[in-house]
Amino acid sequence: MSHITGQADQHPGADVYSARCPSRVALDLIADKWAVLVAGCLVDGPKRHSWLRQRIGGISGKMLTRTLRELERAGLVERRIFPEVPPRVEYSLSPLGFSLREPVAALTDWARANGDLVDKARTRSGLAVERSRQVASRPSSLRP
């Protein structure tokens, strides 16, 4: 099976296609849309929870907190609490998290460039599915 050459070549025992490989856990984590968007926002430096929530359209506060905690547990995000009243908390990418800069940029660039095409294809596909349901629900004497 082919793969994209790069850092994976430095770890020949890693096999993301194997359910038992630790690399699968890493892939599952970073393949999440919220994780990609959070990491993309943190590339430029530390951000507060409120800034991230405002910037990432559609994410709830609960989902953002959950995503940040998962990324922090995985060593990709660092949380810094400032001893102020009220306490101020900032999130930033760890050195390991910063290594996601290029893959995240590639994914978000691809999404920007191809989002309209994907949306059009999904719309066409949805119409085709809907039309086939309509035809199937007609009495057999009325079907084309």
Per residue in 64-92, pLDDT tens?
A: 999 999 999 999 999 999 999 988 999 99
Q: How many domains does the chain have?
A: 1
| DSSP 8-state class, residue 32 | S
Task: List CB contacts of 96: < 8 A, sequence separation 6 or more.
Answer: 75, 76
HEC assignment per residue over 126-141: HHHHHHHHHHHHCCHH
pLDDT score of 138: 53
What is the domain range of residue 127?
A: 100-144
Q: Is 88 helix (H, G, I), strand (E, B) or coil?
A: strand
User: Does residue 62 lie within any of the structural domains?
Assistant: no
User: Does residue 128 lie within any of the structural domains?
Assistant: yes
Cα dihedral value 120, 41, 27, 31, nearest 10:
-20
pLDDT score of 98: 96
User: Does residue 111 lie within any of the structural domains?
Assistant: yes
* Position 56, amino acid: I
pLDDT score of 4: 45
Taking 70 as the pLDDT cut, the residues of the chain under it are 1-12, 127-144
Does the reported pTM lie above 0.85? no
